[in-house]
Structure 1
Amino acid sequence: MEKLGTKQRVIIALCLVMIIIIPRLMHRATEEFSTKYHIHSKINESNTSITLIEGSPHFMVSAFFDHRETETIRIISIIKRDSLKPLYCVYCNTQKYCQVGKADVDTHSDHFGFPFVASDVLCRGKYIHDATHITISTTSVISGNHSKVFLPVRNRQKTDWFRYDFTVCISNLFGKYNNVLQFAQTMEMYKLLGVQRVVIYNTSCGPDLEKLLQHYRREGILEVVQWPINQFLNPSPGWNFEEHKGDLHYYGQLVTLNECIYRNMYQSKYVLLNDIDEIIMPYKYTSLPQLMEILQKEQPGAGVFLIENHIFPKTQFEDSGKFKRLKWNNLPGINILEHIYREPDRKNVYNPTKMIVIPRNVVQTSVHTTLKHYGEVFKVPFDVCRIVHVRVPLQGSLTKEQLFEDKRLWEFEGDLVPNVDDALQKSSLLKI
């Protein structure tokens, strides 16, 4: 075989470069963009809980460093499912130097048929360690003169010490909700059970409830996150797309529940996920701390605890009128102490659950169970803990005699009633 000439060797070398080296360089370029720039003015930080992703129909909500996964910042987002195109993460540090990298998008599996879905935009790579602010872009080419809005990166420091033991996440207030009496009773009941923090996402509420919210904020137990989702989308008032229509499930309930978990990841040992008219009530134990101490000893591998929901129809009143107090007559809302009758289980109907979770064990959640998590899921027995849910009946044809009497709330009346009065008086809703 003849030796290759110089020209032939050059051609072969060029071919090797094209076949092997250039594709590797191109792949690396898609992994880590060399785009680096300096912002010439102050970082434009978002001042709202919902921020449009420029050049797209999508929205970003908040950004969190996820210490459980290698080099990941997780941005809680709202993604339009049929309009997903490549997205990019823009990382900036305190010196206002920024880098751009490709984003991964993980849309949650529960969307109930709605066009917009709760999602995680995942930003990975070496740039995240210095990033104090982050945003999502539809392009990888960005200059220092852009007007993009950034989110602060939260949870940058991991901790094993928690400010609160128990935090309740209430997903949404909407429709000028004004159920003052039930809200005050629920808040005071949770305080007696050992809750130190309540987080509420507020789209709209009535004027009386607003006064009560202000009281609990002054007291320090309540954090109100303004959630103006109706200014950005047409949110659905229900969970079923075929029935309720709209852009997004139930005023963005799935988005706010996930946001609340990450917001409290290193703030609270446990997080309770339930609605405004529900109380996760221990029956076998006197308080939530005692309940969880026993459950964690019995189920050391569990990080998600499912609690059965049980309906107490607001149409059925207890006969004695013991808690029909004149002071409360003119207050808007339901007096839950008057409703002590519980609907029976139906064998062929699914009994939904709400949750007590260790937030560091949860990756994604839906309403009644988690979607992705670490560790085990444990369904708490009915006689140990269940939800007291005072609302319209699901089995409206049942008579009072067909319901079960359940006076668990009455066991707290000595502290509950005066505490409710005190909260209402301090809110200027109840005259002394």
Structure 2
Amino acid sequence: MRRLRLWCCLRLCTLQTFANLFVASFLVYNVCVYVSRSSQNEELRPTEAASAVFNPRTLLAPVVTQASVDELPSVGRVPPAADRHDLEPTDVWQNVTFSVGKFFVFSAYFERRMRPRFVRVIATGRVHLPSTLRPLYCRLHFSNGSEATVRAQHRVIKENWGLAYTARFVLCPTDEPPRAVSLFEKSADLGSRPVTVQDVQPSAARLGRFAVCVKPFHYEYNRAVWLVEFIEFHRLLGVSRFIFYNHTVGPDVERVLRFYQSRDLVTVLPWHIALRSQKEVRTENMFAALNDCLYRTMYRYSYTALVDVDEYIVPRQHADYGQLFDLLGGRGRETYGSYIFQNCFFYLYWENDTAVAERLHLSPQQESQFPYLISLYKTRRVRTPHRFYSRSKYLVVPERVVEAGNHQVWEHAPGFRSMNVGEHFGLVHHFRICEFGGFDCMKKDSIVDRTTHRFIRPLAGQVLAVCDAIFGGNCPVAPPLGSPW
């Protein structure tokens, strides 16, 4: 009996040992398989990510075909004149010395919407003209060789910030559109050189549905990657024309502008005026630029957005501007001339969003080489948007607006008004440092808003493809933000 018990114990021990060994072997096998598969996945992920990010023409090509670089004319090809949009820079600032002192003339447009009709000249002069000012006259040059002289009327554009000089309209009454117009004082020999009068009629065929106007570049603006991002983001939203005013830009931005000009997407107008910015006139005479662009796109584009390069009007429920304005335009198609969107600051001092690397499967090394796209990395914003008309930005139906301002329309054509667009339809994503200097803005109540991340793959692909075409590789690093003080 004792031997039987001993034999049973030995058998049980042996079976337990084999069981333990089996379980241990099974666990080791699964761990090895898991590690092996994980290592294979880790070997694949960088390759896929590298293709998605650094070779956008391959993996990302299927999602950017609608607006890819390959669908545009080849590098260096400039479309012939017959194919070009009638928006090319034929206008420059003229410095004309009248009895009032410095006076500047830029462009002219024939105004068909009002009676009596007239030529509207975009000009700049002193806010308060002296009572001793000699009358200013318009000399109208017609295509048949005839000329006519009429007395000019002045109209100051509202925003001048209390500085000595302001953008203004000079109005020259005429029933028929002249070929050109020049300004002069009757008792003086000197006057302005003739300025071509642009006459775009309501029956003209549209060149596109959406255009963007941007205030003048200045201070040697050289954030090339942010400019490419701005253009490509808006192309995804349906914009087909960008109009920029160039006071001064850096070499990288100049290359970007030339690239897009060669593809007939961008119009760049020289913007050199002999006035001191912020001391004599507001921010490179920006209000003249905004109103010139308003009239330059009139009847040529259905909608024009007036924004800066650090501002994005982003739809929240719709894929692009086309879908959004199919809705908004249908609500009072014959009533609204402008569409106002509330502003939200996305302060650049707040942290970068780690979801960019996660969604694009970027390794730390790859992310360090990935361009710094503010619309993707800066997703923390102030919780409560600004009220309407405070920091707002907007789109207009150009022919329904008479005078444009920075944050609102100052005057609509008769019968039209503004629509305040609810934040659930769209917001202005405004990327900047603290507006009053320092870092106190970071203490404001904030939330994370990743609305722009639905564009993350096509935007990344297009920006990288454009940078490759322009710079032969990665996008150039943006200059530092500078001192907040």
Alignment partner, residue 360 of structure 1: 399
Whether 1:223 aligns to 2:257 is no
Equivalent in the alignment of 2:186: 139
Shift of 1:348: 9.0
Report deviation, 1:338: 1.1
1:383 aligned to 2:430? no
1:171 corresponds to: 215
RMSD value, Cα: 2.7
Is 1:124 the equivalent of 2:136? no
- Of residues 416, 420, 424 in structure 1, which corresponds to 2:463? 420
Q: Which runs of 5+ in 1 are unaligned?
A: 1-45, 237-245
Query: Which whole-Å CA distance do the structure 1 matches of 2:209 and 2:366 have between them?
Result: 34
CA displacement at 1:182 relative to structure 2: 1.6
1:304-343 deviation digits (Å, cap 9, x = unpaired): 1111111111112124561788678579976431111111
Distance in 1, matches of 2:388 and 2:144, equals 58
- The offset of 1:426, in angstroms, is 1.2
Distance 1:355 1:363 in 2: 15
Q: CA separation in 1, counterparts of 2:429 and 2:258?
A: 25
SS at match of 1:299: coil
Structure 1 residues 298 and 48: CA distance shift in structure 2, 3 A: closer
Q: 2:411 aligns with which of 372, 379, 382?
A: 372
Structure 1 distance, partners of 2:322, 2:388, is: 31
1-structure distance, mates of 2:386, 2:302: 35
Shift of 1:132: 0.5
Higher Cα Rg: structure 1 or 2?
2
- Structure 1 position 257, deviation (Å): 0.0
2:332 to 299, 308, 314: 299
- Residues 350 and 63 of structure 1, relative CA distance in 2, 3 Å threshold: closer
* 8 A Cα contact 1:306 1:378, kept in partner: yes
Question: Could you say if the C-alpha distance between residues 158 and 304 of structure 1 is closer, same or farther in structure 2, counting changes exceeding 3 Å?
Answer: same
Structure 1 residue aligned with 2:106, among 35, 44, 61? 61
Q: TM-score, normalised by structure 2?
A: 0.71
Judge conservation of contact 1:57–1:79 (CA < 8 Å) in 2: yes
Deviation at 1:95, TM superposition (A): 4.0
Which is worse superposed, 375-384 or 420-429?
420-429
Distance 2:458 2:207 in 1: 25
Q: Does 1:410 align with 2:453?
A: yes
Q: 1:190 aligns with which of 234, 248, 268?
A: 234
**1:81 aligned to 2:127?**
yes
Inter-partner Cα distance in structure 1 for 2:306 and 2:367: 28
Q: Does 1:212 align with 2:251?
A: no
Q: Give the TM-score normalised by structure 1.
A: 0.79
Q: Which stretch has the larger CA shift, 338-347 or 197-206? A: 338-347
CA contact under 8 A between 2:184 and 2:191: conserved in structure 1?
A: no
Compute the displacement of 1:349 (Å). Answer: 11
Distance in 2 of aligned mates of 1:348 and 1:296: 22
1:34-80 Cα deviation digits (max 9, x unpaired): xxxxxxxxxxxx96521123434211110000111122110011021
* Maintained 8 Å contact 1:90/1:135: yes
2-side partners of 1:349 and 1:156: how far apart? 32
**1:112 aligned onto 2:161:** yes
Structure 1 residue 294, shift from structure 2 partner: 0.5
Q: CA deviation at 1:427?
A: 1.0
Q: Give structure 2 stretches of 5+ with no counterpart.
A: 1-88, 476-485
Question: Which of residues 293, 297, 314 is equivalent to 2:348?
Answer: 314
**Percentage of identical aligned residues:** 22
